[in-house]
Structure 1
Amino acid sequence: MATKATDLTTSSPVPSKPTTPRPRDHPVAEPPSLPPSIKASPPEIHNLTFPVKDEYHGSAHGFLHISPSITQAPPPNTAAILLSGAGGGVTGPSGMFLSLGAKLPALASRIPVLRLDYRYPARTKPCVADTQAAMTYLTENFGIQRFVLVGWSFGGAPVYTVAGRDERVVGAATVASQTADALTGAREAGRRGIPVLLMHGTGDQTLSSWCSKNLLEAWFKGYQGKDDELAKLALFEDDDHSLRRNAKKAEEMMANFIVQCAGENIKDGEQGVVKSDVLGDSEQRREIMEKGGDLRGKENIE
């Protein structure tokens, strides 16, 4: 029986000690290589540290994947920021975030990817501040003005909260999102007409797929337009909390969604990049999640 959506909420106080940033030589700092048949330059990796100006203070961290040609005109104006679950971490469900860091900068649209590492995982308020501080840092240092937010599990709370209130957000996608601290933001995102993609496994034992159904309903309660295609729900039969059985398909859907929200198209011949399997089978993906810290604390993959 699936646990309640509130089981991954923020009722406990913010801890006194923030998480320790991962060093540049951490096992999951570098994305996997694309297949040799795909002619694309590997992304540059920047291990970022940036201040967060809120009541908790300190700095947030993350790995930024950018194309080596980012300085060429015109530079990309949209980036993806990827947020993990209640355990924190930087690889996302079944390692999808690490894979997207390899793929999106390799496309003609050269979309940068930031895998954000929370200061205080599973605490919505500081994680919202982390996300907005990351957006500001990327604007001030890389000229990026627009953002697509992607969140897994607890990560849906900061994703929809920020999407509902911040005009810089142009798209929001979630995998197995909780509803706690997310429903109001989903409704406000709908009011703003922000495109959303919700993915969930019907066999999820951590957060029922009804969570994503309720978030979709909240989005439509706020929406005042006529384009029903702006909000999409994809359910994966009998899959778990990290979509291990359908990770490759979910990753492909997410990449296409991010590119569309950026106002770009995947060019002819680039589907090989999006469809490539760079992480291996489900057991390899689980090992990647463990190395990335995504299975700490309350988070799991069942």
Structure 2
Amino acid sequence: MKAITFDQFGAADVLKIGEVPEPVLRANDLLVRTRAAGVNRADLTHRRGGYGWPDFGDSTIMGLEIAGDVIAVGENVQGYAVGDRVMGIVGGGAYAEVSRIDYRMAMPIPEGLDYIQAAAITETFVTAHEALIHLGKLQAGETVLIHAGAGGVGGAAVQLARASGATVIVTAQTTAHALVHRLGAHHAIDYVDEDFALAVAKLTADRGVDVILDFIGAPYFERNVNSLNFGGRLVQIGIMGGIEDARIPLDRLLYRHLQIIGTVMKSRSQETKHAMSRRFRERWLAHFVKDGLTPVIDSVFPLAEAGAAQQRMEDGLNVGKIVLTT
């Protein structure tokens, strides 16, 4: 089968397409003819050497998110058959014509969605649900601040927050404000020209928000804490802006009874990942298409152009999900 490989860490041009053996079916696996694969920031970290030469459990080949057709099922598999359309998060191997996935991480592709849309759902929406709903405990009637609301996970979080009955405030570049409003944001803050903490204070009459979902890290940390209402929860899901000089106003943390929660999906146990996928599937899968939940697609590249796809992400040009087709 064809797959993306590389023999040294580096820039996007180290990625090559070549022939590799197909994965071997295990007892809990589905073998899937991959039709589309999502591109994620973890793939860039993989290519640069941030994980070494990993085996994430399914494959040493890059890629964590697939959509395609089941071509074989393991002896322990329940609920799936050859020919089913499935999507899900894999432990490596998405950048290939055939991939394998633990059936407990797989989900049926909802009617009305194509493979490209399906490949853009699981990593972003499962992560958004886990951070915002399961850990952040967002409830109807609360107010949430979502940073990077035009990104993959951010855009998914905006939709889930709105569908949960929350008031949604988003930070995004002005050029993306129309998009985040379309996804469900009530208010959009231009993080380039506005101080989001001042904007949040104005929008909430100085009360602050109940939940914050943050991907940035140190540059936002102190302002995030200061922007939380009594009993507020900050869910830290990324550190794109770095970790140096993160200041924490301890008095605010103490007297407002705040919670700070960190989460990274990749380092969780397999059993925990199964539970995360199950929680998302049970709560939200039926809401796609008919209730308006939809992934935001930025661009689509053929598998052979995986390097160009990653470069687009690396340059910060994407608004929404980048997808590879095989």
Structure 2 length-normalised TM: 0.34
Q: Radius of gyration: which is bigger?
A: 2
Structure 1 length-normalised TM: 0.36
The one of the two structures with greater contact order (alpha-carbon pairs below 8 A, sep at least 6) is 1
